[in-house]
Amino acid sequence: MMSPRLATAPLRAVPVEVPVPEEGFAADLRRALAGPVHSISPKYFYDAEGSRLFDLICGLPEYYPTRTERGILSAYASEMAEEIGRGCDLVEFGAGSCSKVRLLLDHLRPRRYLPIDISGEHLEQAAAQLEREHPGLLVLPVTGDYTAQVHLPPPLEGAPRVGFFPGSTIGNFTPAEALQFLRMAAKMLQGGGLLLGADLVKDPALLHAAYNDAQDVTAAFNLNLLARANRELGCRFDLRAFWHSSFYNAAERRIEMHLVSRKRQQVEVGGAEFELEEGFSLHTENSCKFTVDSLRRLALQAGFRPGAVWTDERRLFSVHWLRAPD
Ligand code: AVJ
């Protein structure tokens, strides 16, 4: 009897069909509209117009985080520099207009500054301006999404890498994402550490006001997501057919922002149509609030050794020095 023929047929490469999820704003917006989870990443707020609106938010009387964090950074910059050490390779996650780092530069005296931001044009301008103001400081802007993989220039010999992540942007992550980000950061910042700004749990009335300002700038910022879809994706969202909803979810310790449909309506994103009910709610942002301890526990879990913490008198906001493993 003939032995069974093993592997004698010509070997053909069989393409393995692994569905690759579509990427980008259009795909994410379609997914969010289709559901079952009607939420989209807040990173899509930040086109040039969104970055401009965010800068306006930072100056609003109700929006205490920016002012408070700036106060903490200016009051304690020299103490922070003592903890961190001078001459580091400073990386900022989500640098935006590079305005907060200015409060540290004279004390921290980094050898190099690498601001990362998703809003490329905005960043390039801010970086160029900063370089003009600080001759001798090497500024290398990196356009990219720091929640994904960013490619940084190789580390500088003898300059520990220090991360700067102000503004409580960490609060945009879910707890699981925050942990994942901090684990990535702990690796990337080995031998250095992370200076992290975190907004604190407080009177919900103060929180509510900060995200529902009297001039409706926050509403415009939220609605800019749809305006951007109109500009970039050729959508035809009627901005008046949605309202800005923002509230404190006490159980989750976070502000939630949503865009809620005022009526039953049809919308279209890149050929796909969606029927939205009146009251349909697109979840556009979480802004988690922390206690000093909850933040330190999270950092510890991610592999950091929590160091000094600075806060303002009213304990509205906190800035943490987190040492990365050696
Ligand atoms: C930039 C994410 C820190 O959550 O307070 C401001 C964004 N959203 N007003 C925040 C924001 C509405 C901001 N972060």
Ligand 1 neighbourhood includes 285 CB (under 6 angstroms):
yes
Q: How many CB atoms lie within 10 A of CB 127?
A: 21
Give pairs for 13-21: CB < 8 Å, separation 24+: none
Q: Which two tokens stand for residue 22?
A: 């579509």
- What's the pLDDT at 23? 77
CA-to-CA dists, residue 115 to 92, 141, 171, angstroms: 5, 5, 19
d(CA 58, CA 169): 13
- What's the pLDDT at 299? 98
**Count of all residues that appear for the chain in the document:** 326
| For the CA of 172, the nearest atom of ligand 1 | 2
CB 192 within 8 A of CB 88: yes
Could you list the pLDDT tens digit for every one of the 326 residues in the chain? 455 555 565 666 666 666 666 679 999 999 999 999 999 999 999 998 999 999 999 999 999 999 999 999 999 999 999 999 999 999 999 998 899 999 999 999 999 999 999 888 889 999 999 999 998 899 999 999 888 878 889 989 999 999 999 999 999 999 999 999 999 999 999 999 999 999 999 999 999 999 999 999 999 999 999 999 999 999 999 999 999 999 999 999 999 999 999 999 999 999 999 999 999 999 999 999 999 999 999 999 999 999 999 999 999 999 999 999 99
Question: 197 C-alpha to center of ligand 1: Å?
Answer: 12
Question: 287 C-alpha to center of ligand 1: Å?
Answer: 6
Whole-model pTM?
Answer: 0.90
Domain residue ranges in the chain? 5-15+60-202+290-323
Question: 211 C-alpha to center of ligand 1: Å?
Answer: 8
The type of residue at 220 is A
Q: Where are the beta strands (DSSP E) in 50-202?
A: 89-93, 112-117, 138-139, 142-143, 161-165, 193-199
Question: What's the CATH fold of domain 5-15+60-202+290-323?
Answer: Rossmann fold (3.40.50)
d(CA 172, CA 276): 26
CA-to-CA dists, residue 84 to 17, 73, 321, angstroms: 49, 13, 8
Atom 1 of ligand 1, nearest CA residue:
169
Q: Which two tokens stand for residue 121?
A: 């044009």
- What's the pLDDT at 119? 83
- What's the pLDDT at 168? 97
